[in-house]
Structures are given as structure tokens and as C-alpha cells.
Amino acid sequence: MKIALVGNPNVGKSTVFNALTGSNQQVGNWAGKTVERKTGYIRRDNLDIELIDLPGTYSLTAYTQEEIVTREYILREKPDVVMAMVDASNIERNLYLVLQILELAPRVVIGLNMMDLAKSSGIILHTTELARAFNVPVVEIVAAKGIGIEQFLAEAINVGLMKEDPVIREVPYPAELEEKIQAMETLLKDTVWASKYPLRWLALKRLERDQEIGQEWTAISSSDSSKSRQRDSCCDSGDALKYRLMNAAELPGDDLLRTFEEEGWTKDHFEMAFADAKYNYISQILPKFLTQEALKKPSRTDSLDRWILSPLWGYPIMILVLALVFWASFIASAPLGNAVSQGMAWAADRLVDLLQWVHAPVFLLSLIRDGIFAGVGAVLAFVPQIAIFFAFFSFLQDSGYLARAAFLGDRLMQLMGLHGKSFFSLVSSFGCNVPGIMATRTLEDPKDRLITMLLNPLIPCVPRLGVMSAVVAAFFPGTRGAMVMLSLMLISLLLVMISALFMRRVVNQKERSAFVMELPLYHLPTLRNVLLPTWHKTYTFLKRAWTFILGASIVVWVLSSFPQGVPMNLTWAGKMGGWLEFIGKPLGFDWKIMVAIVFGFTAKETTLSTLGILYGVAADASQSIAQAMTGAMSPLRAYTFLVVYMLYIPCLASVVTTYKESGSLRWTGFGIAYNLILSFIVGWIIFHGGLALGFR
């Protein structure tokens, strides 16, 4: 059985999806789209179920990619049943999407989520009356507490197994509008479309001059015209062929639409009339199943928003929240990271002892200790930092705070000429640039999306911040270290602002799109809803550690170990570094730093593992990589390295993601070149400016 899960953004779809599927799910992209596809697999009562979590959308009008994906899936894949999630605390707006779904799929189950929040807001819903009004089952849910989820699925299974489709009550349109709908239905009932789509829905879309439907008909007509062209070249005159090709561009109902347009019924008029009719219908039936009680005191959301959205207190609160996240991720997690490092060192020693006992060759001992464990071990020490950051991010997103932060961040985005939704993407990049780049999908304007995509690599991700914090701790201990990290963050922010203004000129984005966003109610996320996405993201990082980083560590070890018996600077890595040293010399970098920067392209974490191998840290487990660097670099060179490392080309995964999301090799290459040039220019200014001021 195939079940589709549909709803507005922030209605709790992901919570229900994760609760039903657990870890038995696959995440990918919809074919030809940059919209995430989540598929889960369930088994109930000897029935195998494929659950599709469709992207959150407010309507099925086919303006955004989310709307197109959701509509196309329901129309073409024809799921056995649609589970329509509704926010019970904002039911009037949510039911608009439900009415659109019912025009496409008769087998629907409504899930009223956040019933507890609705009751706390004084909203009393009579589900029996709601079910009678729409003639579909309705289930009360509190997804955050796991209440009603299994009943929701059970009702969906029952509806999916029905032998006949239920009779759905149609939206009553005004008489004049109904007359036009029926006239279009009459014209379309004998077309190919009518055999593929619900006739009434098809008539509504033609009256709205829906582009997706028009493009599909044009494709069919072009195919038919191609076949006709082959026949006509043998059997027909040129005039006959020309006549057929002219008619191929004509869509069924175009003549009727022109007649309606002469009467003043344009595309926009029809869209507004249909939307008004749906909302009027909802307003008429709403009193039958909803009662609003007067509240004795403001709701929790209203009370919190007085502080959190306040121009006076909102920004200090946001700074404190972000400071807490970074403190927990990079300072509080330090003992856990040290424990991982010590555990890896202990495991390396035990394994080497075992291999020595069986008289393994020396090169194998070196590969395991100085290559694999030195490289991968240095990166695994970041896992606590990454896990804690993603846990905080999931908590803030699920609680409703992150939407408020984006609202506050919109003013900062305005200064940069960016859209307010860019805030989501840029903040996500602190965890990892890959999900940050993918988060640009929420931006409707392609140019806004591209600009934000190109800015993402300027935000230091957790792996980069981990490397930076290790270097800062070695070269700038104590309070100086905190000031250095703060200065690096300010440099990043300043360059993002300058680059945003520059990118707007390059991309030729002249107008700034309006930022309209729904603020969800606050609620306390469950432990499961925080840990599950945290695990998925951390697991992705771990998987990369055993692919990119393991491979890179072995390659670096080979390059730095052969030819054997020669000084490090005469190995293959040393020779490669010698070729690159002339590039790094103006910045004060030696060949080891340049090799580490190059290998950092595979994954930013490999910079630390490469330095560990090149500085021979694994041979002396008591010596940290950063401490080894202090003997080879001055504080000024270290600070220059930190700036260049923070800004230079994004990792391979980010580059691939940028190409997939933008679909442009040219813009992907531009982004790489921009970051590379910018990082070395800023690094050169800092290094030579520092020398001029007397720093060393």
C-alpha cells in the first residue's frame, strides 16, 4: 500500500513520519527537482506500506517546487490514501489545502495535530462534525507526545482498503462560476487529459491557465506533430503539415478562455474567485465543528513573543541562544572530544602491539598508526561537537524558536540585500555547509537561491570550527583565544555582507523579494524528535569519515612515507608541497600547510588529519597536532592560516551539492574561484599588515 503524508509546513509531518518509520527510511531528491524526498517503510498486519513524506506546502497551485512535487505525486503516482495533517490551532488556513487535496484524491484521512496547543488557546474542535462536513475520517493527534499516531495510520489503512471511493462533498461555487466550470468540463471530457485526471479539477486548472497542465499538453501535441510530420512528408502537402503544426499549439478550451476573458474573467480573476469560494465555504462550515473560548490570560506563545520578538530584547536573546549553542558545541564538548582522541590512541597502540606480536611488516604498522588512526582519529574527535550542535539545532527548529530567529535576522539580511529565508540557510551552514546549501530550496526566487548558495562556504562549519579552535587553543591560550575566535567570526560576517552585495551585482538581482513567514506555536520537543535527526546527521558525518577521510588519510600517508628512508621534505608529499610553496610563501606558509590545505578540499576535517600525519603526531601520542604546529609557525602565521582556512574553497561535498542545487557548472566554478581568490587576498592583507605593525 502506498500512503502520502501531506500538510502545511510546521504541522508536525516529520514527527509523525519519524514516529511511524523510525530509522527505516530513505532520503533523496525528487527526480529533476531540488526538493528532498523522504520515503519510509512500515509493516502492519501483514501489509507492507510505503509512506511518502511530501514537502510541506500551503497549496497545490504549482508555483513553487514543493507545490509541484506534491501535486504531481498525488496525480501521477495515485497513492492508495492521503494522510492530510492539519494544525488544530490554525485549522481555518490548513483546511484550504485539504479542500485542494480532496479535489485530487477522494481517499483522505485528516489528522488534527497539536490538539493540546489548540485547547490551551481556547479552541474546542468537534471531530465528529468535522468528519461529517468533509465525509472523511478525522483523528485527533498530539504528535509530540506520540498520541493518536497509530490510530491515524490505522484509519489510513482502512480507507486505503475500501473497495469503492467515498463520495466527497464538492466546494459550492457561485452560480456564475459554476456555469463556467461546467462549460469547461464539457469541452474537456473527451480529451486525453480526462482519462488521466479528475475532470472537475482539470476544468478548474484550465480556467486558471495552469502552466504545468499547458506544458504537458504541448509535449503531447509536439509528439503527435512529430509523427504527423513523418506521415505528411510522404503523403501530404506542405499546407496540410503547416495546418497540423498550428493546431498542435492550441490547447483544448482556449477558445472558451478567450470568450471568458472578453467578459472580464482573466487568469487572476479565476484564481481569486476559486480561492475566495474555498475560504467562504470553510468559514460557513467552521462554526459547526469549532468553538472558540475566551482566554483568561495570554497564551504561552503570545507571552514569549513579547520578549523574543521585541526589538529591544529579541536580539540580545538571540545572541545568548547562539552563544550557548557554540559554547556547548566547542567548549563543553571538549572533554568528550579528548576522550575520543585518547580512546583512538589507545586502540592504535593495542592494535600495533598485536601486529608486532605476529611480526607484521613495519610499513603496515606505520600505515595503521601514522596513517589510518592519525587521520581518522583526529576527525572522530569532532563527533561530540557535531552531535551536540545538531541536537541544539534540531531542538531550536522543532520548538519554534528558529523561525523567530529568522524573523529577527531578516533585518540583518536586508542590510546585505538578502531574503529573510537566507538566514535559515546561513545558520544551518554552521553545522555543515551541505545542508546549508540544500536549505536554499526554501527560497522561491532562483537568483536569491543562487546568491545564498554562493555565500554559504564563507560560513565556517563545525569541522572547520573544530580545527580552528584546536589551533587557537595552541597559539592563543586563555582569554586571547576567545578574542581571536570572535575576531574570526566577525571577519566571516563582514565578508558575507560585502560578498552578498557583490553577488547581487554579479547575479543581477535588482529587486529584493518580500519576506513572509508563518510563526509556529512554541512547544517543547520530545527527546525522540531531537535525537532522531541528530543521529541521521551525525551518522552521515561518520559515514563520510570512513569514506572520504579514511581514503584521504591513506593517500597522505603514502605520499608522506615514500620513497622510504628519506627526509619528509623529499617524499612525494614534500615534493608536491615544494611545487605549492611559492603560492603559500607570500602568506608565510610552509609546504606542510599547503599540502594540508589542498587535501582539505576532500573534506575540511582532513586538514587536521593531514597535519597530524605530516607533523608526525601519531608517533608521539602525548603531543597534539596544534602543539606540533607551534614549533613551526609564529602566531601571525597561525592567524593568517586560520583566516585562509576559514574562507578558502569549500569541501568536495559542498561543491557537488552546489552543482546539483544550482544545475550550473559555470556558477559552481565561479564560487570556487571566488572563495579561493578572496581567502588569499584577505590572508595576504592580514599577514603583511601584521608584519608592518611589528607582529611576527
pLDDT band at residue 294 under the 50/70/90 scheme:
low
First-last CA distance in the chain: 69
* Residue 31 cell numbers, joined: 527526480
Backbone angles phi, psi at 264, to 5 degrees: 100, 5
Q: Is 540 annotated as a binding residue?
A: no
Do residues 199 and 192 touch, judged by C-beta distance below 8 A? no
Residue identified by cell 544550482 is 662
How much is the pLDDT for 137? 94
Q: Is 13 annotated as a binding residue?
A: yes
DSSP code of 359?
T
460-481 pLDDT per residue, tens = 987 788 788 878 877 888 778 8
Backbone angles phi, psi at 552, to 5 degrees: -65, -40
Q: Is 657 annotated as a binding residue?
A: no
Task: Answer whether residue 235 shows pLDDT above 50.
Answer: no
Distance between CA atoms of 140 and 153, rounded to whole angstroms? 12
Distance between CA atoms of 109 and 4, rounded to whole angstroms? 10
Distance between CA atoms of 398 and 9, rounded to whole angstroms? 12
Distance between CA atoms of 50 and 40, rounded to whole angstroms? 6
Same domain, 147 and 216: no
| Percent of the chain whose predicted confidence (pLDDT) is above 70 | 87
486-512 pLDDT per residue, tens = 899 889 989 999 999 899 888 876 666
How much is the pLDDT for 458? 92
Same domain, 562 and 431: yes
Same domain, 145 and 181: no
Tell whether 683 is covered by a domain.
yes
More confident residue, 416 or 244: 416
Tell whether 295 is covered by a domain.
no
Q: Is 353 annotated as a binding residue?
A: no
Q: Is 32 annotated as a binding residue?
A: yes
pLDDT band at residue 661 under the 50/70/90 scheme:
confident
Task: Answer whether residue 406 shows pLDDT above 50.
Answer: yes
More confident residue, 224 or 460: 460
Same domain, 340 and 450: yes
Of 494, 495, 463, 480, the C-alpha closest to 635 is 480
Q: How many domains does the chain have?
A: 3
Q: Assign residue 584 a region (left: φ > 0; alpha: ψ between -120 and 50; beta: otherwise).
A: alpha
Q: Is 263 annotated as a binding residue?
A: no
More confident residue, 378 or 33: 378
Tell whether 518 is covered by a domain.
no
Q: Is 54 annotated as a binding residue?
A: yes
How much is the pLDDT for 101? 92
Q: Is 629 annotated as a binding residue?
A: no
Backbone angles phi, psi at 37, to 5 degrees: -115, 125
Tell whether 270 is covered by a domain.
no
CB neighbour burial string for 417-430, b if at least 16 within 10 angstroms, e if fewer: bbbbbbbbbbbbbb
Q: Is 144 annotated as a binding residue?
A: yes
Do residues 629 and 615 touch, judged by C-beta distance below 8 A? yes
Q: Is 148 annotated as a binding residue?
A: no
Mean pLDDT of 6-20: 87
Q: Is 344 annotated as a binding residue?
A: no
Same domain, 21 and 152: yes
304-313 pLDDT per residue, tens = 888 888 888 8
Q: How many CB atoms lie within 10 A of CB 111?
A: 29
Q: Is 22 annotated as a binding residue?
A: yes
* Structural domain ending residue among the three candidates 247, 265, 283: 265
The β-bridge relationship of strands 108-113 and 81-87 is parallel
Do residues 644 and 495 touch, judged by C-beta distance below 8 A? no
Q: Is 239 annotated as a binding residue?
A: no
Same domain, 179 and 147: no
Q: Is 53 annotated as a binding residue?
A: yes
Q: Is 9 annotated as a binding residue?
A: yes
Q: Is 671 annotated as a binding residue?
A: no
438 class by beta-carbon count within 10 Å (0-12 exposed, 13-18 middle, 19+ buried): buried
How much is the pLDDT for 25? 57
591-599 and 572-584 helices, crossing angle to 10°: 100
Q: Is 18 annotated as a binding residue?
A: yes
The CATH number that applies at residue 93 is 3.40.50.300
Do residues 194 and 205 touch, judged by C-beta distance below 8 A? no
Same domain, 328 and 197: no
Q: Is 248 annotated as a binding residue?
A: no
Q: Write down the number of H helices and E strands in the chain.
A: 34, 9
Do residues 180 and 265 touch, judged by C-beta distance below 8 A? yes
Identify the domain containing residue 27 by its residue range: 2-160
pLDDT band at residue 254 under the 50/70/90 scheme:
confident
Q: Is 288 annotated as a binding residue?
A: no
Mean pLDDT of 182-198: 84
* Cα-based distances in Å from 627 to 338, 469, 621: 15, 12, 12
Mean confidence (pLDDT) of the chain? 81
Q: Is 21 annotated as a binding residue?
A: yes
Tell whether 288 is covered by a domain.
no
What is the chain's length?
696
Distance between CA atoms of 133 and 127, rounded to whole angstroms? 10
Distance between CA atoms of 597 and 26, rounded to whole angstroms? 34
Tell whether 546 is covered by a domain.
yes
Same domain, 150 and 224: no
Same domain, 325 and 453: yes
Do residues 113 and 142 touch, judged by C-beta distance below 8 A? yes
Same domain, 353 and 424: yes
Tell whether 122 is covered by a domain.
yes
Of 579, 581, 606, 601, the C-alpha closest to 591 is 581
* Structural domain ending residue among the three candidates 112, 134, 160: 160
Q: How many CB atoms lie within 10 A of CB 68?
A: 20
Do residues 2 and 16 touch, judged by C-beta distance below 8 A? no
Looking only at Cα atoms, what is the longest distance across the chain? Answer: 93
* Structural domain ending residue among the three candidates 160, 187, 212: 160
Same domain, 103 and 209: no
Same domain, 36 and 79: yes
Q: How many CB atoms lie within 10 A of CB 507?
A: 17
Q: Is 35 annotated as a binding residue?
A: yes
Tell whether 368 is covered by a domain.
yes
Q: Is 113 annotated as a binding residue?
A: yes
